[in-house]
Amino acid sequence: MEPLDLARLEFALTTSLHFLFVALTLGLAPLILYMQARWVFGGRPVYERMTRFWGQIYLVNYALGIVTGIVMEFQFGLNWSGLTKLTGDVFGAAIALETLVAFFLESTFLGLWIFGWHRLPRIAHLAVFAVVTLTAYASAFFIMVSNSFMQHPVGYERHGAGIRLTDFGALVSNPALTVTLAHLLPAALSVGAFFVAGVSAHHFIRRTRDVDFFRRSMRVGLVVAAVTAPLVMAGGIAQFPVIGGFQPVKTALTSGNAEELAKAQSLLAARFGPGDLTPPTWIYEVGQVMIYIGQILALSALLLLPLMVWRWSIRLRPLLYVMTFLIPLPFVAAVCGWLVREVGRQPWAVYGLLRTEEALGDIGPAAITGSLVAFTTVLLFLAVVDYSLIAHFVRRGPEEDVLTLGARTLPAPEPGTATRLSPEKPEKPEREETSWTSSGY
């Protein structure tokens, strides 16, 4: 393979693997924030247990996701020096802000949240995780600012051999960014919602004794899924006319309309001159997979939620198996959407400014092959570790948790008389419903 093909393959693999971590992190954070808020303002112990159980899964995914992000960003300097030379002053501004948010604010407040259980006041502890959630989405926002500039460059001017930022407002109001956020944010929430509902269904299949715990978790997941799944589809449809304004070939390919494709190709020839400026046609099939999965998820969520109200989703085992089957589908749809967005931009690294072969640094095939093998191996290993740990915590259930760094408070007979225990000897909280028989199932 040519160095360009190897570099593109490396970035595609590492970015797709990293995006799986990001999607689950963004999807779980608001759900955990809601559970903790219910505990803080309602005082029910089940919501504290829910916060701890889903929070430990969030922590595992977050920690390994940070490492995969660092591995991915190494490639900008190693393989794509042409990109950084031209767009570093613009591209780097948003990346720097993302680094400050993710590595300083988010990680700092996440540490406070981990060590602050029953040491910080409940409201303050909730506020800490609210900051964690906001910074997670701010991090995603700044990454998408950089990516949207590559899709539709705005707010810059030529400066010598490179470009420099002249209008930060134009950068953050880029139409390639705004329409994408309307699709990406509900998609991330959908990932977390179907994950929570599916894991809860898995425990009902195993006839869990924590019926109330997983019934409430499933309800949270299905409600969020029923709201976000249709929004994902609506946001995806809304992108077509906007993206078609500056990347007409991409939208023509994903729509499968040969007449529109021919018209779009003629527009590109008039703008950029003769040459093959059509991205790989297989993005049509990838886009169709994404669309079909989106329809399945939206229909499933809208059907399962009413059944949850009557508790049929818990009683009928076939429905439980359906929910567990749905867990990986949002991840697959997210990767398909990412491929359509990125591959559909080809042959441009920065659309209309820098072709992909010009963005490649002066690096030989042996060096790229070495980094491809090394980075892909590291990320695959981290992905296996991540999902193995998540599967371990999922199977173990809420019997024990890793969020025991802060002291626990046992339920007290009267407010204000709680007894504090050391982290080394936590006591299991009482279940509100301890068996299928006692809860009427």
* 325-345 pLDDT per residue, tens: 999 999 999 999 999 999 988
Residue 428 backbone dihedrals phi, psi, to 5 degrees: -65, 135
Mean of pLDDT values over 277-282: 87
392-440 pLDDT, tens digit each: 888 887 876 555 545 454 444 434 433 333 343 344 444 444 334 333 3
Q: What is the pLDDT of residue 401?
A: 58
Residue 356 lies in a domain: yes
Lowest mean pLDDT among 1-10, 55-64, 193-202, 426-435: 426-435
Residue 409 backbone dihedrals phi, psi, to 5 degrees: -120, 125
pLDDT grade for 26, boundaries at 50, 70 and 90:
very high
314-323 pLDDT, tens digit each: 667 888 899 9
388 exposure class (CB count in 10 Å sphere: 0-12, 13-18, 19+)? exposed
Residue 415 lies in a domain: no
pLDDT grade for 96, boundaries at 50, 70 and 90:
confident
Q: What is the pLDDT of residue 99?
A: 77
198-241 pLDDT, tens digit each: 999 998 888 877 888 888 999 999 999 999 999 999 998 888 88
Residue 432 lies in a domain: no
Q: What is the pLDDT of residue 395?
A: 85
- What percent of the chain has a predicted confidence (pLDDT) above 90? 31
For the chain, the domain total comes to: 1
- 150 vs 76: which has the higher pLDDT: 150
Residue 78 backbone dihedrals phi, psi, to 5 degrees: -80, -45
75-88 pLDDT, tens digit each: 777 788 888 888 87
Residue 408 backbone dihedrals phi, psi, to 5 degrees: -90, 155
Q: What is the pLDDT of residue 14?
A: 83
Q: Cα(65)–Cα(336) distance, rounded to whole angstroms?
A: 19
pLDDT over 90 (residue 20): no
Residue 261 lies in a domain: yes
Q: What angle do CA 169, 170, 172 make, to 5 degrees?
A: 65
Residue 423 lies in a domain: no
Q: What is the pLDDT of residue 288?
A: 93
Q: What angle do CA 84, 89, 90 make, to 5 degrees?
A: 95
pLDDT grade for 310, boundaries at 50, 70 and 90:
low
Residue 71 lies in a domain: yes
Domain that holds residue 31: 3-409
- 398 vs 137: which has the higher pLDDT: 137
Torsion of Cα atoms, 365 then 369 then 371 then 373, to 10°: 180
Residue 229 lies in a domain: yes
pLDDT over 90 (residue 27): yes
pLDDT averaged over every residue in the chain? 83
Q: Cα(117)–Cα(220) distance, rounded to whole angstroms?
A: 23
Q: What is the pLDDT of residue 303?
A: 87
Q: Is 38 helix (H, G, I), strand (E, B) or coil?
A: helix
Q: How many CB atoms lie within 10 A of CB 394?
A: 17
Closest CA to 112 of 413, 405, 352: 405
Residue 283 lies in a domain: yes
* Cα dihedral sign, 319-321-327-329: negative
Q: Which residues of 110-127 are buried (b: 16+ CB within 10 A; e: fewer)?
A: bebbbebbbebebeebbb
pLDDT grade for 132, boundaries at 50, 70 and 90:
very high
Tokens 């080809």 correspond to 346
H/E run at residue 164: strand 162-165
Q: What is the pLDDT of residue 311?
A: 65
* Cα dihedral sign, 405-411-417-421: negative
Q: What is the pLDDT of residue 246?
A: 87
Phi-psi region of 330 (alpha: psi -120 to 50; beta: other; left: phi over 0): alpha
- 190 vs 408: which has the higher pLDDT: 190
Mean of pLDDT values over 363-377: 84
- What percent of the chain has a predicted confidence (pLDDT) above 70? 88
Q: What is the DSSP letter of 398?
A: G
Distances (CA, A) of 103 to 1, 62, 107, 256, 274: 36, 11, 6, 42, 45
Q: Which amino acid is at 427?
A: E
354-367 pLDDT, tens digit each: 898 888 887 778 88
- What's the distance, Cα to Cα, between the start and end of the chain in Å? 59
